[in-house]
Amino acid sequence: IGRHGALEPIGFEYQGLRFDQDSFHIFAGLCAVDTRENAETIFKALSEHGVVTARMGAYKPRTSPYDFQGHGKECLPWLFELAGKYGIRVIAMEVLAPHHIEEIWEALEKTGHPTGVMLQIGTRNAQNFELLRAVGSQTEFPILYKRGMGLSLEESLNACEYIASEGNRRIIFCLRGVRTHLGDPHRNLTDFGHVPVIKRLTRLPVCVDPSHPIGSRVEAPDGIKDIYHVAAQGVIAGTNMVLVEFHPHPETALCDGPQALYLEELPWFLEHMRLAREAY
Ligand code: PEP
Ligand code: MN
């Protein structure tokens, strides 16, 4: 994945969409799939705005084992069917173990592949080498690799090499904030200044996730949520993808409710991103 001499950037087509260092996509949606109704409401809103990509977590890596762990494979058949109904072409979905890849594949087979899936490697699994090898050795799905929140950049880039060295080079590198010892009013420190760094060091498309490093719907004195501000910073820096959490009723969300943007804000968020992209 590294930039060696004059090698062309790594880009790929998936589900009729182009992903490379020039493309731009917004993957908005639920942190965790909870109800069928909420998933459908999100897909419907996205399709009404011409958005064909979404995020939906079925397998959730929770800090506490007593918290909601996601519906797992149980929700996949109806989730994929709904995605197909609203013309959603790619869903970003985290996998925590190699057998989840199989479960996603089987559910897609059963539903007749109405949508595609981008397998997400979460920050907590950023150095789970067996999982990295597993997503690297299958050729069906592209990978959204999230930077390890406590790893050096070099370590995260090497983790991507674990994926690529198995054969799958359809990787997108996602910045999602890093842990520091400095104390931070946000959950993590945003590292979106590294968008051009990743582009320079690798040939991969880059994604930013403004939801997880901020961790809440806190607003700046200008009345604009910090999530909007950092998302725009990522876009202005040249990111190729934004992964962001929305919920129709954040108060009832089973995971990451405090940071979920209200679904009614979707048009405004999309417009904010459009203007930022124009500024880039
Ligand atoms: C997520 O995107 O749902 C998630 C858990 O993110 P991260 O791995 O970046 O914490
Ligand atoms: Mn989340």
Note the pLDDT tens digit of each residue in 157-198: 999 999 999 999 999 999 999 999 988 899 999 999 999 999
Cα gap 59→30, rounded to integer Å: 12
- Token code pair at residue 56: 């939906």
Structural domain contains residue 167: yes
Q: Is 146 close to ligand 1, i.e. is its CB under 6 Å away?
A: yes
Ligand in closest contact with the CA of 176: 1
Q: Is 31 close to ligand 1, i.e. is its CB under 6 Å away?
A: yes
DSSP letters of 222-243? TS-BHHHHHHHHHHHTT-SEEE
Nearest-atom index, ligand 1, CA of 122: 8
Around ion ligand 2, which residues have CB less than 5 A away? 31, 256
Range of the domain at 265: 23-279
SS3 126: coil
Structural domain contains residue 8: no
Note the pLDDT tens digit of each residue in 18-75: 999 999 999 999 999 999 999 999 999 999 999 999 999 999 999 999 999 999 999 9
Query: Residue 179's domain is classified under what CATH number?
Result: 3.20.20.70
Rounded to the nearest angstrom, the distance between the alpha carbon of 13 and the centre of ligand 2 is 26
Structural domain contains residue 16: no
Residue of the nearest CA to atom 8 in ligand 1? 122
Q: Is the ipTM here above 0.95? A: yes
Rounded to the nearest angstrom, the distance between the alpha carbon of 209 and the centre of ligand 1 is 9
* Number of structural domains in the chain: 1
DSSP 8-state code for residue 99: H
